[in-house]
Structure 1
Amino acid sequence: MTSVSGMVVRSSEIKPLAKEITYKCGNNHEFHITLEKGMAVPPLFKCGSDPKCTSREFTIQPDKSRFIDFQIARLQELPEDLPPGQLPHYVDVTIKQDLVDNARPGDRIILTGIIRIEQEYFTGVRANSGLYRLRIDSNNVEFLTGRGTKTSRKIEREEISSEEEKIIKALAKNPDIYERLVGSFAPHIQGHNLIKESILLLIAGSTQRILQDGTKIRGDINIFLVGDPGTAKSEMLKFCARIAPRGLYTSGRGSTAAGLTAAVVKDKSGIMMLEAGAVVLGDQGLVCIDEFDKMKPEDRSALHEVMEQQSASIAKGGIVATLNARTSILAAANPMYGKYDPFKNITENVNLPIPLLTRFDLIFVVRDIPSKEKDTRIAQHIINLHTPTGNDTRSLIDSDTLTKYLAYSKKINPVLSKEAEEKILKYYMKMRNVDSEDMITVTPRQLEGLIRLATARARILLKDKVEAEDAERAIFLIESMLQDAGVDVNTGKVDLGVLQGRAHSEVSKMQLFMDILRSLEGEPKTPVEEKLFLKELEKSTKFTADEARNYIRRMLREASIYESKPGHYNRV
């Protein structure tokens, strides 16, 4: 008997396995056969109840036979335990009776069982094969960290001992703990403190609320980084996946929809099995996706449901399932033209669908702007990393303690205090009442984001209540995001329409353009000459001569207008 730890990557459907079969021969004699081990039923040559019976026909009586539940699962080495450059080993496990359906794909378990050896069968080869494979007959399944059943399982990889708990509580009493935590996150990267702070809040996360009618309100925070090459985006993602209590790292180019959510695989025995993908394996943890813009659109669309509904639905090969994917997503992408163009809005800079962009709570634009002081600091920092002494990290928390601290903070469920509620509500109402006409500054999605960020900050500081200062910090983060990514470059004002496809200034220009064309066309829809049209557009003072020409070309491209005869235009 042995005990192994690993991650369940596949599990088959549950099937009945015969333990005691009742047969009936042609002369109506009934007899039992008990199967001791294995799945093969021995062939029958004579009646088992009467030695004189000569019948050679036997039929199974299912209602008088005894069956047990049976399931096959595949256990894979834990990613943390892998030596460099080695593929993970896996072993097939047979699970019987009350243990079936206890461990789902994505669970980290300790499995106790007996090792069996069984012959490999090859199709088309009659002779017995000399190759054998190992299989484990399971006797017990325990969940890593959190002995006990499926309901009482914990998400942390490490159990926190009482000494460690004392260290964590002593750390939390420090007045500058928040700055120290931010400084301890990826200390090898200089600057980017705002992004580091946001990623720490993402790891801690907020609490998932379940309302009385069963509706769930998402507690996970999603963050998107877009920026110039060489601004340490991937480094932050890698560090985040390493220190998070449960984190996975994938790259956009090598990820498919099935690899991210779940796939249906056919096993050797012909049984359809469900194999979990990255966001399901990262349930109650986080998934870092690098090169987010290089994913194929049909693969990226699999994330829409994960990021808002927190589940991954699959309907393939006769298997219809909804898997839990309560996962925070941290994504990074490069701008379309290599470098971020400050004269274009974010939707024109990033090749991503708008519904996906709006699902991110925070979007950061990381720009590489030369400045003497900052560049000197970064250069000195990088040079220090290559010297034997290295950088001074004495005041920082080491990564193991940081992981334990974050895992401990996830147990706390703070509630909003009256002051924090007032702060958030006041900010929301202020942003809704912007005096410009039709301009969207915040939506209810941002309001939920504010509550999540404030709760995560209270969690990190191990507080039971979300206080006014947590709400202020959350407002500051949302504000800095809006100043960063939510500014309409045409007007220089904050406008959430930028993140939702078209800025308000664009929409009003387009409206004006179509109105002018409509008035020039008149009732019988006469073709409008280009010169006259350009003149009228310039008269409106919203367009310069060049802008007007570009707009006409753009509208032709978008098929909103067409050239009815050379140099004349009409609405479609």
Structure 2
Amino acid sequence: MVLQFDMPARWRGFLEEVCHERITDLVHEYPDVESIEVLYEELQAFDPDFARQAISDPVKTLRSSNAALEELLKDLGEKIPGMVRLVELPTDQKILLEKIRDEHVGGMIALEGVVSKISYVRPRMQHAAFACDCGHVTNIRQHDEQKLIRPLRCESHEGGCDRDNRATRWRISHEQSIRVDSQSVELQELPERVKSAQIAKRMSCLVEGDLAGQVVPGDRVIFNGTIFRRPIRRGSQETPVFELFFDVHSLERKDIPLDEIKVSDEEIEKIMELAKRDDIYEILTASIAPSIFGYKHIKNSLVLQLFGGVSRVNDDGTRSRGDIHILIMGDPGVAKSQLLNYMSDIAPRGQFASGLSSTAAGLTAAAIQSPDGGWTIEAGALPMADLGLAAIDEFDKMSDNDRSSMHEAMAQQKLSIKKAGINTTMRTRCSILAAANPLKGKFRDPRNDTSGRIPELTQQINLEPPLLSRFDVIWVMIDQPAKEEDRKIGAHIVSNRQAGTPEWLIDQGLASAPISKGANIEIKDGQLIIDPDFMIKYVSYTKKTIHPTLSDLAKEKLVDYYVKTRISGGGSTENLDLHGVGEGVESGRGSSLDSVPITARAIEGLVRLTEAHARIRLSDEAGVEDALSAIRIFDHWRYTLMGENFDETSIQSGRSTSKRNIERNIKSFIILENERTTQSIHLNEILTEMEKHDAKRQQVEDILDHLVNAGDLFRPTGRDNYQPV
């Protein structure tokens, strides 16, 4: 039986009984607030049948709600065009984007996803007032934002002249028309719901009124509204094929980090049991890409990256990130891409991308012109990985647009977009795991070089020094022959390949993919391994519930390490007494004046690593052991990258200490000689002088070219003569 309601009266009764305070707040806060929200369960408690009617016939029902609200506002002496927005629909009305079909047209449903694209906000006529030549005005409600609906006749029974549109002219009366802010938004399926090798489903949505301009790419939202059809056109002709669009009635933000990952009580107990184990760090490290042999120290740091530090807002309003950024520089064929793929699979909200991205948005964002001439902003990998992890392969090959935006995205964890008339800010609160290849195909190790011609490892990749300095950890993977190690790697690869499940069995449903078995914990080659599904839950649970602070002793340990590293000149701190700073530490430093073994920025990275280590064992306090573990990782990657004499300035400047010293000597010599002789200085004179400083000819020539290109020197009479600018 179909129930008939006096909808305006029913809505008025509900609003008076349930929403009196909200209506009062609307009056006080208008025009900053233009609508009130009504929970579906409130409507259901008031009248279940009426609530079901709102779901089955939303257009008519909700139009009546707005009329009833406006009547109540008039009774209060207010002429406010308020709106009622229904939120928190029942679970059975929440439909996956990939499941949307024609059967859903007409009813109210909820779509959950991540905003991937937005247009700028434009005014749209909701009610168009057309004035006839005779002076009569006809109002027409505009249902289709793609087409302006005009009057067919100036109706005589409405006071018009009874002429049709061929016999009169119509003009739009803007003063009497009603306009509403309108915006196109593209909603994309949540990344964790997209199966491997599938393309994420997208839905074009129309957002209007006070909802327009409220979301940015990367936001996780629930859109409540109705599906409508539109025929697909070929040129000026409509085809019999229809496209589905979504008319947004209300939105709900999903700002609770990782709230989409559900962890059962039984799983929480298992997590707590694991966290108490003395070997939990070894278990987690072994669980990172078990099919890849070795790289224990790198995997250890990747575990800490998964769990991350604690993001905090400082008293002055600035933000300190908790996410850990890691760069892996490596020769081809050392499994960098496999590590990145695996990390993007096991990290909550993980995204895999490439610097060679074929999409216009790339890694950050792009302005794209739509067919109607308007512009939209499309999110790249970083905004889509907000509150997760972005694994970026071929990081050194990113576009110029991405390079210019990456500094802000990594440091401030936001993207300021000012393109095509759209000004907005997207959040990029994610850890970045990046991989880069050497410029010349293979790294040349400068640590055993006596010629001075091999540049530092960080200078053998196509990344600017300021960008390199944003990473907390930088690993280098050099493919060097080593008989015993190569034998172990070969045996591991062969054994692991044979142990894999044949893909044809998985395709035919005769076996399940190993990564989705959900066994939680298994033993492989005598080592306890946590499967990817359970790893995601472990990480998600800790990041939602555990927010460690450093103990006084841990703080002291990190500060001591920082001070003593500066004293030691970048050498290993393994033999230093880290229980306290010894007397006389202010007297000097073991490094050269131009060499800085560690900067203050490194302390922040150490804090993040320390907090992550404490999170793993579910501790709200990071202690001395957590700090020491962070220091060990920090020492290891620095030694791997530059050996005993680590120089952080070489990363930030792009030149080693020796090159900076030679450069300073060359400039000083040329300036002094030019002042003495007022002549240009010949290359042979420079080489003779630089031999006193043990500088090689190739080094000197390279530095001279650099100084000329930088505008510090010029060649007045030919290639071999130099003069200061």
- TM-score (norm. length: structure 1): 0.87
By relative contact order (CA 8 Å, sep 6+), the higher-ranking structure is: 1
Q: What root-mean-square deviation, in Å, do the aligned CA atoms of Structure 1 and Structure 2 show? A: 3.1
The verdict on how the C-alpha distance between 1:21 and 1:351 changes in structure 2, with shifts beyond 3 A counting, is: closer
Q: C-alpha offsets along residues 425-457 of structure 1, whole Å, 9 cap, x if unaligned?
A: 111122233333322111121111111111122
Q: In the alignment, does 2:591 pair up with 1:436?
A: yes
Q: Distance in 1 between matches of 2:417 and 2:336?
A: 32
Any conservation in 1 of the 2:350–2:391 contact (CA below 8 Å)?
yes
Q: Quote the residue 1:384 is aligned against.
A: 495
The verdict on how the C-alpha distance between 1:103 and 1:518 changes in structure 2, with shifts beyond 3 A counting, is: closer
Moved more, 384-393 or 163-172: 384-393
Q: Distance in 2 between matches of 1:478 and 1:43?
A: 73
What is the Cα deviation at residue 318 of structure 1?
A: 1.1
Q: Quote the residue 1:45 is aligned against.
A: 153
Any conservation in 1 of the 2:327–2:475 contact (CA below 8 Å)?
yes
Structure 1 residues without counterparts, runs of 5 or longer: 142-148
What is the Cα deviation at residue 472 of structure 1?
A: 1.2
Q: In the alignment, does 2:594 pair up with 1:461?
A: no
Q: Quote the residue 1:420 is aligned against.
A: 554
Aligned pairs (5 A) from 1:276-287: 276-287=379-390
Q: Quote the residue 2:118 is aligned against.
A: 11
What is the Cα deviation at residue 534 of structure 1?
A: 4.0
Any conservation in 1 of the 2:181–2:208 contact (CA below 8 Å)?
yes
What is the Cα deviation at residue 516 of structure 1?
A: 3.6
Q: In the alignment, does 2:560 pair up with 1:409?
A: no
Any conservation in 2 of the 1:115–1:135 contact (CA below 8 Å)?
yes
Q: Distance in 2 between matches of 1:83 and 1:532?
A: 67
Q: In the alignment, does 2:263 pair up with 1:130?
A: no
User: How many residue pairs align between the two structures?
Assistant: 555
What is the Cα deviation at residue 181 of structure 1?
A: 0.9
The verdict on how the C-alpha distance between 1:385 and 1:43 changes in structure 2, with shifts beyond 3 A counting, is: same
Correspondence for 2:363 among 260, 270, 280: 260
Q: Distance in 2 between matches of 1:362 and 1:561?
A: 39
Aligned pairs (5 A) from 1:22-171: 22=129, 25=132, 29=136, 32-34=139-141, 40-47=148-155, 50-51=158-159, 53=161, 56=168, 60=172, 62=174, 65-82=177-194, 87-97=199-209, 100-101=212-213, 103-109=215-221, 111-123=223-235, 125=236, 128-139=238-249, 141=251, 149-150=252-253, 152-171=255-274
Moved more, 419-428 or 372-381: 372-381
Q: In the alignment, does 2:633 pair up with 1:477?
A: yes
Q: Residue 555 of structure 1 aligns to which amino acid in structure 2?
A: L
The verdict on how the C-alpha distance between 1:520 and 1:68 changes in structure 2, with shifts beyond 3 A counting, is: closer
Q: Distance in 1 between matches of 2:372 and 2:124?
A: 14
Any conservation in 1 of the 2:114–2:188 contact (CA below 8 Å)?
yes
The verdict on how the C-alpha distance between 1:257 and 1:299 changes in structure 2, with shifts beyond 3 A counting, is: farther
Any conservation in 2 of the 1:256–1:299 contact (CA below 8 Å)?
no
What is the Cα deviation at residue 60 of structure 1?
A: 5.0
Q: Residue 466 of structure 1 aligns to which amino acid in structure 2?
A: A
Structure 2 residues without counterparts, runs of 5 or longer: 1-55, 57-92, 98-112, 447-454, 502-523, 568-588
The verdict on how the C-alpha distance between 1:121 and 1:45 changes in structure 2, with shifts beyond 3 A counting, is: farther
Correspondence for 2:392 among 275, 283, 289: 289
What is the Cα deviation at residue 408 of structure 1?
A: 1.1
The verdict on how the C-alpha distance between 1:48 and 1:4 changes in structure 2, with shifts beyond 3 A counting, is: farther
Any conservation in 2 of the 1:244–1:403 contact (CA below 8 Å)?
yes
Q: Distance in 1 between matches of 2:465 and 2:376?
A: 34
What is the Cα deviation at residue 242 of structure 1?
A: 0.6
Moved more, 356-365 or 376-385: 376-385
The verdict on how the C-alpha distance between 1:424 and 1:71 changes in structure 2, with shifts beyond 3 A counting, is: same
Any conservation in 2 of the 1:257–1:300 contact (CA below 8 Å)?
no
What is the Cα deviation at residue 4 of structure 1?
A: 2.5
Moved more, 555-564 or 299-308: 555-564
The verdict on how the C-alpha distance between 1:150 and 1:89 changes in structure 2, with shifts beyond 3 A counting, is: closer
Correspondence for 1:400 among 533, 549, 555: 533
Any conservation in 1 of the 2:417–2:425 contact (CA below 8 Å)?
yes
Q: Distance in 1 between matches of 2:626 and 2:689?
A: 53
Q: Quote the residue 2:346 is aligned against.
A: 243
The verdict on how the C-alpha distance between 1:543 and 1:303 changes in structure 2, with shifts beyond 3 A counting, is: same
Q: Residue 470 of structure 2 aligns to which amino acid in structure 1?
A: R
The verdict on how the C-alpha distance between 1:80 and 1:409 changes in structure 2, with shifts beyond 3 A counting, is: closer
Q: What SS does structure 2 have at the residue aligned with 1:543?
A: coil
What is the Cα deviation at residue 372 of structure 1?
A: 3.4
What is the Cα deviation at residue 281 of structure 1?
A: 0.8
| Bigger fraction of residues in helix | 2
Any conservation in 2 of the 1:157–1:245 contact (CA below 8 Å)?
no
Q: In the alignment, does 2:638 pair up with 1:505?
A: no
The verdict on how the C-alpha distance between 1:111 and 1:555 changes in structure 2, with shifts beyond 3 A counting, is: same
